[in-house]
Structure 1
Amino acid sequence: MKSNILLTAALIAVASASTVKAQNYHADHNHAMPSQTAKAQTAGPRGGSLKQAGAVQLETVVSQGGIQMFVYDQNGQPVSVDRGRGAASVRVEGNAKRYRYDLLPDGKGGLTAPVNLSQIAGRQIDIDIQLVGIEAAGGQTLKLNEVATVPASELQLAAAAIARQKICPVSGKPLDSMGDPVAVDVDGQRVFVCCGGCVNAVKSDPAKYAAGRPQITVATATAADADAIARQKVCPVMDEPLGGMGTPIKVTIGDKPIYLCCKGCIKKIEAEPAKYLAMVYGDQKASAGVETVGANASSSNIEVTSATQADAALIAQQKNCPVMDEPLGSMGDPIKVMVGDKPIFLCCKGCIKKIKADPAKYLAIVYGGGSAGSVPAGTEQVRAGIFKVSAEDAPFIAVQKKCPVMDEPLDAMGGPYKVHAAGKAIYICCPGCAKKIAAEPQKWLAVLAQQGVNAPTLR
């Protein structure tokens, strides 16, 4: 589950109202009292985080319904908070903005900030808390910083598991193709199937279906497959006519066959069976997630020829086709595609379309992902130190792919944006990530390096 919704409208509305109250409250009390900061986290009696703060212990409980604070003495006995008040300042990971809420007595022994956190279930939040009026604290202001994860409901956990699994391991159909998916217990873990008719298959052979993935078999198509091949027409991986590169390959996912133009496409099907099932059997929305990068280079300066002996050294240096990741020469003589003055070698003619559709992406793959490249520093700032990207950034965005801070796709939260890091450019998914890059640029450059990405130099 990769929700990009940081807060609901209701959450923001409550935040606005609480900010004024909380700020007024602190204006009256913060400078009049000494304070104690909470330390040493353990598990609390109500399932929250328990920390020592002076003469008392504070327990923070985060739920989808809000934030609760409970106070205990040194013996772990509850302390009255009926005269207490407080405020919580909340920041969601990946978002620089903070939201403030009043903590007020709830009549059940705690101080509560009721706020709907269901839309950020599974996300980490950073909370700064201040409490006053706790008699057992001797009139001191109690301060606490807590990092917690908003718990997900059973429904949300199930939805996330279904989104990860995507397809029925028995039939190979999308899990939502037959109504609500059905959960089956397999050795203590849940496996989802598309309908009740698939339940017995899982129960009769749990080891076969425990991974939640359909069985995939590969064979050469036969005369019996001719009608199905005629209906499918093209390979879903390369968009090439079936038969144009020899006898089609038959890959069966569960009970669903998919025909491919060549053996080089098998890897793609095995990696993302749900995507290609949707492409062949309908629901094209599943293929809408195919990665694209804005500002592609023009295909008007692309020329295609066969490689010659003079290209042998370059072919040996490139080694693999950037489209199929197959060794050059494994499918016949490599194809040479000139993008401007730069050659790219391909395993077969079926890959030419991909290069023409997104030449900048494949130039970046072949020529080192920006290891010897540079980009302009940028002049159009969305915030201080955060720049809009340009066409020159496109090849490097294509290679970096994800934000190193959030591990989210660069376009997942309104990005990509560009920030400066020790003379290099790092691309981020949202402005909230910029502070972490600025604080430790070498750390995040190292993270990218571990991923095989060498950030471009700024000029």
Structure 2
Amino acid sequence: MKHKILLTAALIAVASVSTSSAQHNHAGHNHAMPGQTATAQMTRPVAGPHGGSLKQAGAVQLETVVSQGGIQMFVFDRSGQPLSVDRGRGAASLRVEGNAKRYRYDLLPDGKGGLTAPVNLSQIAGRQIEIEIQLVGINAAGGQPLTLNEVATVPASELQLAAAAIARQKICPVSGKPLGSMGDPVAVDVNGQRVFVCCGGCVSAVKSDPAKYAAGRPQITVATSTAADAAAIAAQKVCPVMDEPLGGMGTPIKVTIGDKPIYLCCKGCIKKIQAEPAKYLAMVYGDQKGSAGARSDGAPASNPNITVTAATQADAAMIAQQKVCPVMDEPLGSMGDPIKVMVGDKPIFLCCKGCIKRIKADPAKYLAMVYGAGSTGSVPAGTEQVREGIFKVSAEDAPFIAAQKKCPVMDEPLDAMGGPYKVHAAGKAIYICCPGCAKKIAAEPQKWLAVLAQQGVSAPLIR
């Protein structure tokens, strides 16, 4: 899922690492040991009778079936007749795309004509896996072991496919409400494609005008507010994008998402609504706690010294380098002379005065956006240890986590394995995806700091 999925701890607990496979993995070719029959790679995938992939291995054909319930192997002669595997057995060594580790599972007769390794693969649905398979005890192979290399994708269930589609669509195209806010979303068939709506009451609208709702997004219209909108403007009070009083920057702009109006302080805010309509609908109509600029943990932001001035000709080079306002993502100069905000000794240039309060509310966030992870200096060492030398992160770590993005050891998203966690490396903080990565950083801290530096990430100091 927004990140890569790894096998669960329970799944890993029943598997053992296949060291022999790791030591004998030659890219681009396969070869057999003496007395071992390797599979010949077919030029095109061939579907087997059980829906798996069929490949030739000497005098037999092997079909590999991968499902969420595990791995199955079926054996056939050259004419396609099934062969008995009651005396056979084998092993499957599995590696998930993006993960260097291998997991080994035994293949045993299942009494249904196949060799099966029952293992829950549902949590890696949709992910590509590489499988190395070895089989013994197959009579038709003349007593010789059989080997097979296979690449497959674990199929997703209907529920998983629906959940992924709902996550992509996010909001009801009829009402504009977040999907799930009115109970389980309802699927509607539109010209062979599924569109989700928030409730049964929206189904008839989609069916009556399928072309209008086929994209799965609500219709968004933009207009200047009129006197008829005065009561709604008074009730909303502030622009959800800029947190500015409506009317403070001219006549409010009216953006209608489905049947829900949102009022904005200026035209510069329109594209934010168009990009994330569900977010701003929730801010105006509910399901959004706190105000824009409040910290997620409810604590007030700890602000360095902040001063505001107009930019001058001496700032031209820095303005040209920064290019856009970090708050509005608008070109600097597009809304008048840029505003210069000094956060400590670091200048940030803004498109208009309306953006100043966002910088004051969360300076660390915008410093990280403009200067990268190392701009705000330092983070606390941490007091709550997961294991010795491995700390839970705090709100102050958030901008550095956002800048680092991936674990330097595993190259995985920092939240892929229960993280992020924080470790100390030569007086600096490195964020990792799981506790297992800590010992590598402890052994060679400068190596991993250099890896981050090559990625353009400057690790914060530990204070």
User: Same-fold call, TM > 0.5?
Assistant: yes
User: Contact 1:361 / 1:399 at 8 angstroms: preserved in 2?
Assistant: no
Q: Return closer, same or farther for 1:316/1:370 CA change in 2, 3 Å cut-off.
A: same
Report the Cα offset of residue 208 of structure 1: 1.8
Residue 118 (structure 1) aligned with residue 122 (structure 2): yes
Q: Secondary structure at the match of 2:347?
A: strand
* Matched residue, 1:36: 37
Q: Return closer, same or farther for 1:240/1:413 CA change in 2, 3 Å cut-off.
A: farther
Alignment of 1:178-189 (within 5 A): 178-189=182-193
* Matched residue, 2:56: 52
* Matched residue, 2:351: 347
User: Contact 1:244 / 1:261 at 8 angstroms: preserved in 2?
Assistant: yes
* Matched residue, 2:151: 147
| In 2: Cα distance, 1:313 partner to 1:17 partner | 59
* Matched residue, 1:230: 234
Residue 366 (structure 1) aligned with residue 370 (structure 2): yes
* Matched residue, 2:214: 210
| In 2: Cα distance, 1:129 partner to 1:291 partner | 51
* Matched residue, 2:85: 81
Give the TM-score normalised by the residue count of structure 2. Answer: 0.76
| In 1: Cα distance, 2:61 partner to 2:96 partner | 25
User: Contact 2:175 / 2:218 at 8 angstroms: preserved in 1?
Assistant: yes
| In 2: Cα distance, 1:73 partner to 1:97 partner | 34
Q: Secondary structure at the match of 2:304?
A: helix
| In 2: Cα distance, 1:305 partner to 1:355 partner | 14
User: Contact 1:96 / 1:432 at 8 angstroms: preserved in 2?
Assistant: no
Unaligned runs of 5+ in 1: 24-31, 376-381, 420-424, 435-440
User: Contact 1:95 / 1:432 at 8 angstroms: preserved in 2?
Assistant: no
CA RMSD of aligned residues (A): 4.8
Residue 331 (structure 1) aligned with residue 335 (structure 2): yes
Per-residue CA distance 1:13-47 (angstroms, 9 max, x = gap): xx645659x99xxxxxxxx9832333415223222
Alignment of 1:42-441 (within 5 A): 42-45=45-48, 46-284=50-288, 299-367=303-371, 369=372, 397-399=401-403, 401=405, 410-416=414-420, 429=433
Alignment of 1:438-449 (within 5 A): none
Q: Return closer, same or farther for 1:327/1:53 CA change in 2, 3 Å cut-off.
A: same
Report the Cα offset of residue 128 of structure 1: 2.6
Amino acid at match of 1:202: V
Report the Cα offset of residue 427 of structure 1: 7.5
Report the Cα offset of residue 395 of structure 1: 6.1
User: Contact 1:66 / 1:117 at 8 angstroms: preserved in 2?
Assistant: yes
User: Contact 1:275 / 1:287 at 8 angstroms: preserved in 2?
Assistant: no
Q: Return closer, same or farther for 1:202/1:390 CA change in 2, 3 Å cut-off.
A: closer
Report the Cα offset of residue 286 of structure 1: 12
Amino acid at match of 1:99: Y
User: Contact 1:81 / 1:134 at 8 angstroms: preserved in 2?
Assistant: yes
User: Contact 1:336 / 1:346 at 8 angstroms: preserved in 2?
Assistant: yes
Unaligned runs of 5+ in 2: 20-32, 379-385, 424-428, 439-446
Aligned residue pairs total: 431
Amino acid at match of 1:34: G
Report the Cα offset of residue 224 of structure 1: 2.0
Per-residue CA distance 1:121-141 (angstroms, 9 max, x = gap): 222333232211111112122
Q: Percent identity?
A: 82
User: Contact 1:33 / 1:141 at 8 angstroms: preserved in 2?
Assistant: no
| In 1: Cα distance, 2:237 partner to 2:411 partner | 37
| In 2: Cα distance, 1:36 partner to 1:417 partner | 46
| In 2: Cα distance, 1:64 partner to 1:6 partner | 14
User: Contact 1:278 / 1:287 at 8 angstroms: preserved in 2?
Assistant: no
Q: Secondary structure at the match of 2:41?
A: strand
Per-residue CA distance 1:387-442 (angstroms, 9 max, x = gap): 999999976654454679999754344445799xxxxx9987568999xxxxxx9x
Q: Return closer, same or farther for 1:414/1:74 CA change in 2, 3 Å cut-off.
A: same
Amino acid at match of 1:111: L
| In 2: Cα distance, 1:263 partner to 1:104 partner | 66
| In 2: Cα distance, 1:167 partner to 1:229 partner | 23
Give the TM-score normalised by the residue count of structure 1. Answer: 0.76
Report the Cα offset of residue 257 of structure 1: 1.1
